[in-house]
Homo-oligomer: A and B are copies of this chain.
Amino acid sequence: MPPYTETLTRLVETNGQESAGTLASTVYDRLRGDILSGSLPPGEKLRTEALRTRYEVGNSPIREALNRLSADGLVTREDQKGFRVASASLADLEELLKTRCWLEEIALRESITNGDADWEERLVLAFHRLSRVRRSSSEDHYSVNPQWEDLHRAFHLSLLSACGSRWLLQYCAQLNDQADRYRQLAIIVSYPKRNELTEHEAMTKAATDRNVDEAVSLLLAHYERTARIIRETISEFEES
């Protein structure tokens, strides 16, 4: 397998189901999912004992998973004081948004410039798959659909996957994860008003048309829009 496809595959497989040859990796995946979905909210203390019963494994796998997540920035660690879910704030959101725009603009420009036919096909495929899955797993109210989340992640990474730098791609993936935590806060409010499908479709078209500037501005607008919704949501919560 060519290196980029491999890297992409690894990044895309949030491995809810397939990977994980060890308990530590399984716990890592589950913990990661629970943090991204908001099931473990920002700032939450992560006690070993509690996690041991929650995931039904011993001490070591829990600890390994937490250490990896702390290097990923999803969990904070303080010597002798244990772990907690990384905190979240409006200021952090702004910083995150800014950084994402910087990095993804580069990645997208490079990706469109260098992307070959393979990349184009991966992108179209990723969009198709995403368009086939419902945003929410329930009809009337919103509830996280892990399948959509995975495909959404895969779509955005596909866009950037031909950027030519595994480092950059990994960083974009990491920032994506961070943003997902915030997105879960806002989704309940905005659902189902926003038509994300159209936005994704437009991006796919601009990218496969090799229209760099158009694609970049669509992507950045996409993120700005998401951030605005999140900002408004959080403000409302803080007011009440």
Contacts and interface: CB of A to CB of B under 8 A. Distances in A.
Pairs of residues from A and B, 8 with the lowest C-beta to C-beta distance, nearest first: A71-B71, A21-B79, A67-B67, A99-B167, A99-B165, A22-B79, A68-B71, A64-B67
Interface in A59-110: 60, 63-64, 67-73, 79-80, 95-96, 98-99, 102-103, 106
Q: Is the interface of A mostly helix, strand, loop or mixed?
A: helix
A95 B63 contact: no
Interface string A6-35: 000000000000011110110000000000
A106 B102 CA distance: 8
Given A80-B22, A102-B106, A95 B60 contact: no
A97 to B, nearest CB: 10
A95 B167 contact: yes
Interface string A42-72: 0000000000000000001001100111111
Contacts of A60: 60, 63
Copies in the complex: 2
A69 B71 CA distance: 8
Given A21-B80, A95-B167, 6 more contacts: A19-B79, A22-B80, A69-B71, A95-B164, A99-B165, A103-B168
A228 interface: no
A171 B19 CA distance: 27
A47 to B, nearest CB: 17
A71 to B, nearest CB: 3
A222 interface: no
A128 interface: no
A225 interface: no
A206 interface: no
Interface string A163-195: 011111011000100000000000000000000
Contacts of A70: 68, 71
Contacts of A80: 21-22
Nearest to A106: B102
Nearest to A72: B71
Contacts of A175: 167
Nearest to A22: B79
